[in-house]
Chain A
């Protein structure tokens, strides 16, 4: 397959364009998705190719257009809604949690909701408390939804294409800070199944389970650890639901030490769930309690030094991993 380096944003756009060419039922609905191509310019050029009937600008009405997408998905379209900032999912909660997630089950399997919600996560963009949260744990909590967290351009394209072809409501979280990240991406059609973790780096001494924005942090920390003689394995679940429990547990059994990294809040969050899954599945092989590292339990502050302190960094992960491996100096 011909491969070249493109950015995460280009990979997302390419996945959408390919799926829209493949299936005329796929449409994009959201605020400033057409001519503006979103503030992040992820969708630039799509309205020119597919027209305003399939790349549909909406008023600033997240609940309204998400509800429209639910109904449209039930009746023959495959909408991809764009929620500009992940913080705005709060406005769509009834439509996603009480409607989209439950329609198939409540109707005894008669109606389906094949829709995707694309939204963002991630702090350190100096956007303050209402434009910086990583709220994917909320949707991961709800039966009926699937939640995807791509961490590379390659994963972004393959996972988004799978999400669009899925018969269920899928929420696709993109790290805002990663849009310019470059990586190899095949030019051709390919998909990545939901619920299959990816070992981003093999190692023997400690497992760093990391999602989305934290995968690059974990890979950076792994290089620092290597210099200390610690071999770190980096495992990316890629989806919080469905969850590839086996790959996480197998890695934990192999290395016996685990840190779970996720940019959402630690309390009652993704790190807690993943740590519990690993603790239950690998208890007798663990040499230390599973450590969780997530966002601090504070609203994300605006001031740069304060904001930077709220999320795990390569340095803090490096230090935590060393301690967990018994290297105190």
Chain B
């Protein structure tokens, strides 16, 4: 198998500012190019099911996960490839899972929407909108009860703001001062509907109602996301309780790969504006240039290396076998 992108947790303490942000850059490029390959594999009809791409939202997953330890927990969503990669998953086993292969993270039984990996604290992506809010809060409950100072991050889209269970667990988390961070990725659209048509009041007002500390950041700026995430994680780890982070971002693709004709719910001009002016990879590369941390050549090298990794991962996934049909009744019960 090909190796994972370098461990985001390794040697962080010793990393220089330059190393830290070049690593974040590499992670964001990994997500972008992973999703490009998913799009390619999907449109070549090699991938069964649905593909929900994370492109455009990379700064959120990377900004948050760069503030976490490998043994901290995350829960993810149907649009979860970015979270898995940012938490340290290996692209070859992810692609194998996407194709339903035995070498996949879930032996092919979960697929794109259910990647889970105990080794990186990934409790699983979830295809029920808001379905993992209880799991993330429960992981924080266990961490607090067991006294192991882990933190749980619950990623969800703004569509999950419509689910009542979110508010039930936010209430519990604040009552019990649990180390959980609710990360609302506001990519503007609940599937095919703009969030303003589905969301009364303000997003942060929901956190305020429970007395949970909240913040709103530009989700296209990985440094801004990371700064707040680091503060919230540190606070949760030291017993300060839950936090809520609203990240304003944008979903470049449709709801899924097949959602091509989108003009009825959003304009091409709007999509173009986010891509040209607010692309998270461009935003970070511009800053890296300004700092003198990178030049076009060094960033191109990163992109080429990542592209090679992704191409190898896809080849591996295509070549590796499906699970045996004998497998179908395994793992129903532990």
Contact = CB atoms under 8 A, between A and B. Distances in A.
Interface of A: 27, 53, 58-59, 61, 63-77, 94-95, 98-99, 103-112, 114, 143-144, 146, 167-168
Given A71-B134, A99-B131, A144-B332, A108 B123 contact: no
A58 B134 CA distance: 14
Contacts of A76: 142, 146, 148
A67 B141 CA distance: 11
13 contacts: A59-B172, A64-B168, A66-B134, A70-B134, A71-B123, A72-B139, A72-B141, A75-B143, A98-B128, A106-B109, A108-B104, A108-B110, A146-B333
Contacts of B108: 108
Contacts of A75: 73, 123, 138-139, 142-143
B126 to A, nearest CB: 8
Contacts of B135: 67, 70-71, 74, 99
B168 A109 contact: no
Interface of B: 73, 75, 104-110, 114, 116-118, 123-124, 126, 128, 131-143, 145-146, 148, 152, 164-165, 168-169, 171-172, 175, 330-334
A168 B138 contact: no
Contact of B138 (A69, A105, A106): A69
A321 to B, nearest CB: 36
Contacts of B330: 109
A59 B168 contact: yes
A67 B134 contact: yes
A111 B175 CA distance: 27
B138 A71 contact: yes
A67 B169 CA distance: 8
Given A53-B145, A68-B169, A72-B139, A107 B116 contact: yes
Contacts of B134: 63-64, 66-71, 95, 99
A111 B116 contact: yes
A83 to B, nearest CB: 14
A107 B124 contact: yes
Contacts of A66: 134
A94 B128 contact: yes
Nearest to B148: A76
Closest 4 CB pairs of A and B: A67-B134, A71-B138, A64-B168, A108-B107
Contacts of A109: 107, 330-331, 334
Nearest to A63: B165
B128 A71 contact: no
Given A94-B131, A94-B165, A110-B116, A64 B172 contact: yes
A143 B330 CA distance: 12
B145 A72 contact: yes
Contacts of A114: 334
Contacts of B132: 99
A53 B116 CA distance: 29
B267 to A, nearest CB: 35
Contacts of A74: 123, 135, 138-139, 142
B171 A106 contact: no
A167 B331 CA distance: 12
Contacts of A110: 105-106, 116-118
Contact of A107 (B110, B136, B164, B172): B110
A103 B124 contact: yes
A71 B141 contact: yes
B333 A58 contact: no
Nearest to A143: B332
Contacts of A99: 126, 128, 131-132, 134-135
A77 B145 contact: yes
Contacts of A94: 128, 131, 165
A47 to B, nearest CB: 15
Contacts of B168: 59, 61, 63-65, 67
A111 B169 CA distance: 21
Nearest to A59: B171
Contacts of A58: 172
A71 to B, nearest CB: 2
A68 B107 contact: no
B208 to A, nearest CB: 18
A32 to B, nearest CB: 15
Contacts of B143: 75
B253 to A, nearest CB: 24
